[in-house]
Structure 1
Amino acid sequence: MRKLFGSVRSRATLGASLVVALALVAAGAAVLLALRANLTDQADSRAAATAREVALQLTTIRSYADLELPDDEDTPVQVVDEKGRLVAASDDLEKISGTGTDEVGPGSAPSAKPTGGDEEPGEPGESGDDEASESGEVSDDDPEYSSGTATVDGESADFRFAAVEVSTEAHGDLTVYAGASLSAEQSAVSTALTSMLIGFPLLLAVVGGVTWLVTRRALRPVAAITEEMAAITASEDLARRVPEPDTHDEIARLARTTNETLTALQNSVERQRRFVADASHELRSPIASLRTQLEVGAAHPELLDVDGAVEDTVRLQELAADLLLLARLDAGEKPGGKRVDLAAFVREELSQRTRDRVQVDADLKSVEVAGSRGQLARVLGNLLNNAQRHARSRVTVTTRGEGAWAVLEVSDDGSGVPESERERIFERFVRLDDARSRDEGGAGLGLAIARDVAVRHGGTLMVREAPSGGALFELRLPSPQSSAD
């Protein structure tokens, strides 16, 4: 069962069928109730009309024998006096329930008035004037309705009965019960119910089938995407892409997003491979140089270049530190939230630089940032080292606040960076001047580390042309006040 309903197509079909089934049951019940109520109201109206016709006759007749009752088997009638005695009833009435009395025929009812003395209540009287007419009043109140059964001429059926009260001078107070057959109502309801019992399952089958087919067609691209992803996983070929359906729905967006993810993953893997290859290459040079010097020193101590060995060791140490920092940044290391006064921080860092080749000018305005002091020191140091390598005679450092941002700029008066290369220089192991020596140019990690640190701090690092014609690196970091707001 779990396997059967484990697919989206099965669950969608089941869900749609259940919703439609509930809607059909609710609608069918409402229709049947409305139909039954409507037909019952019609039966009530027919029964009330018959009862009032009989009641009007009772106001004018002298004897119950003159009462003309409907001879229709669908309209049984009873007339009951104020004492609850049946005084008149339909001729073929054999059995009845749901009215004021279960009697089907008058037990004894006077047919003529006595010749002398006072008239007895409830008896029709005869006077010397046979042409005289009696009078009475039919109640204007709404009839009372009830449900019951009756057997007329051997046919039993359900009826709705209307009770109408009438006051007559000749017969006193009477109640007329007239019935209207519910056969038409029962037949109509039965026909509607039968139609629903036949039609609803067919409609559910159509809804389920259409939902199944539409869902299968809609999910066909998902099957293709799943198959291709499985093939990519098995082959480890990140250059492959999943098929994108020519639609504008969620599945098409899923396919595009999946391909974008594969592209990003492929680029990340390729960048990681290049990083490992470049790191191995960069490490190989100082290690080989250091090994050569140590081997020469071991064979000929007088030829050992201690300064060169120390320089290679320092370079190796710095490269290892850069690689370790990049690994921590790639792992998502948080910079922390310690507040740093940028102007005081730059002054302290500049005071520790004693081997700079050219002069460093500073125009510092106090502005605070939040982050890792060690990582910010690495950014400033890398920018200053880059400027020292390319400057002719001067390097300038400035700090200032611009609204919600703290800005640090490092510029030089060197040859600058070509506009087409201004993004490439932030890639790892990139050196624009391939002809220069590695000792002078470094490993090509400084600017990459600086931008990564800037991004981790929620800021940016960009390069543009300085007023002196060289390169101007602008570091923007959010101020703590803007972060708090």
Structure 2
Amino acid sequence: MADRRTGPVRSARRRATAAVRRLTAGPRTAALIARLAPRSVRTRTTLAACAGVAAVLLVASAGVLLLLRADLVRSVEAGGREQARVVSSLAADGRLPNPVPLDHGSDFVQVTDARGTVVAASGNLAGRPALTPAETSDGHGTFDLDVLGDEHHQRVTTLTTDTPNGPVTVRVGASLHTADTAEDVTTAALALLGGLLVATVGAVTWKATGRALRPVEVIRSEVAAIGGRALDRRVPEPGSDDEIARLARTMNAMLDRLESAGARQRRFIADASHELRSPLAVLRTQLEVAHTHPDPAVRAEMVAGALQDTDRLQSLAADLLLLARLDVTGRSGPTEDVDLAELVRGTAGGRDSRPHHVELDLAAGCTAAGNPMWLGRLLTNLLDNAQRHARGTVTVRLAFDAAAGQAVVDVTNDGPAIDAGDREKVFERFTRLDDARSRDDGGTGLGLSIARDIAALHGGTLTIEDAPVGCTFRVRLPARQAPRTGTGH
């Protein structure tokens, strides 16, 4: 019983194993082909060039051989046809000799009557029975005939003519040995020349590809040697203006951006550490004094100062997080159509009018695609900066530049003007130009940098423009305007 059960089980196992082998044969074959396939661009290019040249040579050689064969066969047929006409003319005149003399290029001649009896033949067919070609086309038959001691490939021309003794059939055989030999010699020569040509193309392609790819290997080696602390290194740029030179220039441009980003990050970390160190030290001092001082009034004053520094630290931390998010994401987040007039009106209206009132001059109907929260933060930072440094008034003007397809937002304050040489410095992180923009004014030194980054993420710009009094921060954003416009305050 055990043996009876074991037999079917073993058979099922064998069938399952065979099925698994069939299923895995395809992937294994594909994996083997992939493993054997050349991975070098140089090798693949050389093989492709050799294969292309070989294919072209094969087709061209086949055409040459066909044309050569056809021309040689036509020459043989012409000679045999001329011999057959001469013999037919002699037979028609009753002057047919026996044996029949052979012309140059003819191998044999045989003349038979209507009953198939040989009436005349060339000397090499004397005593031979009548020939019967295996196949005949247009008066010509091709077959192997062992009449001269060796096997010859013959082209037989057949003509029928009337004689005084009745109709006769003339067969003239012309050997294709010369044509076959010429074809064989030509085939061997083409094969040899083709092989040499393919080898030459392969060698030239291998060397040319290696020379062309040498700069790529140099670029690869240089990039591999560039680490996080060696971003000042650059890849060599070839003197040519080809794809590799453009690749090198693009790589160096990328390295420039990486070096700039690294320097900016290190400067940002150093500045952030410096900015955090002072308020933390002051906060610690205030808390230590409040903790140990016996006078409740002094303790209350110290705690109030600590709360102020805590608020400033919270603001600084929020700005740092926002800058990090802007640097990492590189995009403005979810976008929607934002009515800029309503955004400016809502942002200004939600602010305390102290210490300086904000006047509005808004063109209605300007709509920009963007993140309303971040655009609001841009306006808030500009208004904070303007109110911090204004002497009397802050003006926000919104207009539409139809020629550029942009909305123009000007935030102007009548405070101290900014020199032309310092107008880019104010957008650097933690930059304060003078005592008027000191740490006592409550700024973190990040607001304008954040505002410019937000404008750039929305495809716009933030610059400082000349103003009759004070300075103007101008924001340009891609926008569109409704057909009807108006002015609101």
Question: Which TM-score tier does this pair reach, normalised by the shorter chain?
Answer: 0.7 to 0.9
Q: Could you say what secondary structure the match of 2:430 adopts?
A: coil
Say which is worse superposed, 446-455 or 388-397, in terms of deviation: 388-397
Pair 1:458-2:483 in alignment:
no
The answer to whether the 8 Å contact 1:407/1:477 transfers is no
For residues 53 and 349 of structure 1, the distance between their equivalents in structure 2, rounded to whole angstroms, comes to: 117
Q: Could you say what secondary structure the match of 2:226 adopts?
A: helix
Aligned to 2:423: 422
Aligned to 1:374: 373
In the superposition, relative to structure 1, how do residues 176 and 418 fare at CA in structure 2: closer, same or farther (>3 Å)?
farther
In the superposition, relative to structure 1, how do residues 28 and 101 fare at CA in structure 2: closer, same or farther (>3 Å)?
closer
- Superposed CA deviations along residues 267-316 of structure 1, whole A, max 9, x for unmatched, are 11111111111111112222222222222111224213244333222211
Aligned to 1:91: 123
**TM-score normalised over the length of structure 2:** 0.80
For residues 61 and 186 of structure 2, the distance between their equivalents in structure 1, rounded to whole angstroms, comes to: 9
In the superposition, relative to structure 1, how do residues 66 and 202 fare at CA in structure 2: closer, same or farther (>3 Å)?
closer
Give 1:2 shift.
Answer: 5.2
Residue correspondence of structure 1 range 25-424 to structure 2 within 5 A: 25-59=58-92, 61-62=93-94, 64-65=96-97, 68-70=100-102, 72=104, 74-82=106-114, 84-93=116-125, 100=132, 143-166=138-161, 168=162, 170-233=164-227, 236-300=229-293, 301-304=296-299, 305=301, 306-332=303-329, 333-366=331-364, 367-403=366-402, 404-424=405-425
The answer to whether the 8 Å contact 1:76/1:90 transfers is yes
- Superposed CA deviations along residues 42-74 of structure 1, whole A, max 9, x for unmatched, are 222222222223333333x12544795425573
**Structure 1: runs of 5 or more not aligned:** 103-141
In the superposition, relative to structure 1, how do residues 469 and 351 fare at CA in structure 2: closer, same or farther (>3 Å)?
closer
What is the one-letter code of the residue matched to 1:376? L
For residues 111 and 187 of structure 2, the distance between their equivalents in structure 1, rounded to whole angstroms, comes to: 37
How many residues align structurally? Answer: 439
Larger Rg, first or second structure (1 or 2): 1
What is the one-letter code of the residue matched to 2:141? S
Q: Could you say what secondary structure the match of 1:49 adopts?
A: helix
What is the one-letter code of the residue matched to 2:342? A
For residues 475 and 363 of structure 1, the distance between their equivalents in structure 2, rounded to whole angstroms, comes to: 16
The answer to whether the 8 Å contact 2:112/2:130 transfers is no
The answer to whether the 8 Å contact 1:161/1:180 transfers is yes
Give 1:151 shift.
Answer: 4.3
Q: Could you say what secondary structure the match of 1:238 adopts?
A: coil
Give 1:200 shift.
Answer: 2.9
In the superposition, relative to structure 1, how do residues 351 and 72 fare at CA in structure 2: closer, same or farther (>3 Å)?
closer
For residues 339 and 232 of structure 1, the distance between their equivalents in structure 2, rounded to whole angstroms, comes to: 44
For residues 349 and 467 of structure 1, the distance between their equivalents in structure 2, rounded to whole angstroms, comes to: 25
What is the one-letter code of the residue matched to 2:271? D
Pair 1:448-2:449 in alignment:
yes
In the superposition, relative to structure 1, how do residues 414 and 96 fare at CA in structure 2: closer, same or farther (>3 Å)?
farther
**TM-score normalised over the length of structure 1:** 0.81
For residues 36 and 247 of structure 2, the distance between their equivalents in structure 1, rounded to whole angstroms, comes to: 25
Aligned to 1:118: none
For residues 291 and 196 of structure 2, the distance between their equivalents in structure 1, rounded to whole angstroms, comes to: 96
In the superposition, relative to structure 1, how do residues 432 and 160 fare at CA in structure 2: closer, same or farther (>3 Å)?
farther
The answer to whether the 8 Å contact 2:53/2:198 transfers is yes
What is the one-letter code of the residue matched to 2:276? L
For residues 55 and 469 of structure 1, the distance between their equivalents in structure 2, rounded to whole angstroms, comes to: 123
What is the one-letter code of the residue matched to 2:243? E
The answer to whether the 8 Å contact 1:94/1:153 transfers is no
The answer to whether the 8 Å contact 2:110/2:130 transfers is no
What is the one-letter code of the residue matched to 1:393? G
What is the one-letter code of the residue matched to 2:323? L
The answer to whether the 8 Å contact 2:334/2:371 transfers is yes
The answer to whether the 8 Å contact 1:337/1:370 transfers is yes
For residues 100 and 265 of structure 2, the distance between their equivalents in structure 1, rounded to whole angstroms, comes to: 109
Q: Could you say what secondary structure the match of 1:92 adopts?
A: helix
Please identify which structure carries the higher helix content. 2
Aligned to 1:105: none
The answer to whether the 8 Å contact 2:111/2:120 transfers is yes
In percent, how many aligned pairs have the same letter?
45
For residues 284 and 391 of structure 1, the distance between their equivalents in structure 2, rounded to whole angstroms, comes to: 29
Q: Could you say what secondary structure the match of 1:331 adopts?
A: helix
Q: Could you say what secondary structure the match of 1:349 adopts?
A: helix
In the superposition, relative to structure 1, how do residues 163 and 327 fare at CA in structure 2: closer, same or farther (>3 Å)?
same
For residues 112 and 389 of structure 2, the distance between their equivalents in structure 1, rounded to whole angstroms, comes to: 124
The answer to whether the 8 Å contact 2:80/2:105 transfers is no
What is the one-letter code of the residue matched to 1:58? A
- Superposed CA deviations along residues 231-265 of structure 1, whole A, max 9, x for unmatched, are 223x8311122222222222222222222222211
In the superposition, relative to structure 1, how do residues 239 and 71 fare at CA in structure 2: closer, same or farther (>3 Å)?
closer
The answer to whether the 8 Å contact 1:459/1:478 transfers is no
In the superposition, relative to structure 1, how do residues 101 and 363 fare at CA in structure 2: closer, same or farther (>3 Å)?
closer
